[in-house]
Structures are given as structure tokens and as C-alpha cells.
């Protein structure tokens, strides 16, 4: 009975996460990645539990693959930095990339934390512009670290998204100080903040929920 109960619990959590991802308008391949459900199961869930008048769309095509989206100047870039700070705060990503763990990312508990972090981002940032698909891609890209990574500014300790390989030394979006290629973590007791406008609000978020 114990094994049966454990399996039922895992299946229930998997379905709950899938429904949560559907409500965030995640693509089928993204839901499959985070839950392990088949495409057919995802489609049946959508037809069974999402009402036609709910205003949710099923997006087709490939998921985002271009990290330059997060390196833009202006509003999108600022929001990407705020989102990265929240994902770090919620334990979805680490401050240093870990390519070896990229295959271990799609767990149910981490998927729930990803949803928690994205929902917190939408509460913190006025008129948020980054969709869930890009948030999920940001989590994967920062964990892999082969194209982008996180770096703390040595001057103001703001969190920045930087290119992993670049010919130019990156500068902090918040204070414009140069950021040499030496990982630095904030001093103990200092609040985490992003190199972006909404960062002050992000630092006020409550502790991330337990997985």
C-alpha cells in the first residue's frame, strides 16, 4: 500500500504542476519537460480542465532559444534581471552555473518553484512583459551557463545577467562599474537586488516556499 500511495502522490503532483503550467500558457513541450507527461496526456488535460472561456491560449511552435532576449537594454532587459533575481531567491537557479545538473532540473519540486517564482515576478513588476516560456528558458540557460550566467557587481553588489564568453568586460546595469571575471557573492546579511528598476521590490519578497 505504501508504494501505491507514493505513486499516487507523485502522479497527483505531476498533474497539478501540468495544470499550473497550462494556466501559464506553457507550450506542450515545456510541460512535457517539467512533468514527464506525454503530449497526448497534456492535450487531454487541457480539454478536460481548462474551460473554453478561460481566455488561455495553446501556443504552437518551438520554445524560446535566443539568450539575447535577456541581454536587451530597456524594459525587457531590466525585467529579465529582476526575474533572474527572483529565480535565484526561490532556489530555481544557483548563483553559479552547473552544467552537470542540467538534466536534473526538471523535477516536480523545481517546477513548482519555477511557477512560484514566475508568479512572484508578475506580482512585483508592474505590467510584466516576460512570458512563462521565456522564464523557463532563462532558468535552463542560467543553469547550463554556456551562454549566459549571473554575476554580482563588485561595486554595488547588484545581480547582473552577463554573457559567458565575451570580448568586452561587462558593466553593471545599475551603477555601470566594470565587472571582472571573478565570481563575487554579496556580503552576508546584504539583501539580494537586481540591476533593474523593480529590484527594490524583489528584495522585499518573502522567503521562498519549501519544495
| pLDDT tens per residue, range 63-119 | 899 999 999 888 999 999 999 999 999 999 998 887 776 666 788 999 999 999 999
Summarize pLDDT for 33-71 with one digit per residue, the tens: 999 999 999 989 988 877 676 666 777 778 899 999 999
The full 3-state SS of 21-87, as one line of letters, equals: HHHCCCCHHHHHHHHCCCHHHHHHHHHHHCCHHHCCCCCCCCCCCCHHHHHCCCHHHHHHHHHHHHH
Q: What is the mean pLDDT of residues 139-151?
A: 94
- Note the pLDDT tens digit of each residue in 14-35: 999 999 999 999 999 999 999 9
Residue 95: name the closest of 22, 149, 25 by CA. Answer: 149
Per-residue pLDDT tens digits for 157-186:
999 999 998 888 999 999 999 998 765 555
3-class SS at 123? helix
User: Would you state the pLDDT for residue 144?
Assistant: 92
Instruction: State CA 94 to chain mean position distance.
Output: 11
pTM of the model: 0.82
Amino acid at each position: 500500500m505504501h508504494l501505491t500511495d507514493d505513486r499516487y502522490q507523485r502522479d497527483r503532483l505531476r498533474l497539478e504542476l501540468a495544470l499550473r503550467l497550462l494556466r501559464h500558457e506553457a507550450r506542450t513541450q515545456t510541460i512535457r519537460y517539467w512533468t514527464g507527461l506525454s503530449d497526448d496526456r497534456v492535450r487531454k488535460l487541457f480539454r478536460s480542465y481548462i474551460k473554453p472561456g478561460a481566455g488561455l491560449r495553446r501556443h504552437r511552435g518551438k520554445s524560446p532559444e535566443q539568450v539575447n532576449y535577456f541581454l536587451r537594454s530597456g524594459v525587457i532587459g531590466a525585467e529579465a534581471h529582476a526575474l533572474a533575481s527572483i529565480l535565484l531567491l526561490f532556489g530555481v537557479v544557483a548563483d553559479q552555473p552547473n552544467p552537470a545538473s542540467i538534466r536534473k532540473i526538471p523535477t516536480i519540486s523545481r517546477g513548482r518553484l519555477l511557477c512560484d517564482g514566475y508568479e512572484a515576478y508578475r506580482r512585483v513588476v508592474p505590467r510584466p512583459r516576460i512570458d512563462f516560456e521565456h522564464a523557463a528558458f532563462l532558468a535552463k540557460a542560467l543553469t547550463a551557463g554556456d551562454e549566459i550566467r549571473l554575476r554580482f557587481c563588485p561595486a554595488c553588489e547588484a545581480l547582473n545577467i552577463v554573457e559567458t564568453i565575451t570580448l568586452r568586460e561587462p558593466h553593471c546595469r545599475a551603477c555601470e562599474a566594470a565587472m571582472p571575471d571573478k565570481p563575487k557573492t554579496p556580503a552576508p546579511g546584504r539583501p539580494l537586488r537586481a540591476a533593474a528598476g523593480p529590484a527594490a521590490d524583489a528584495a522585499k519578497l518573502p522567503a521562498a516556499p519549501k519544495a
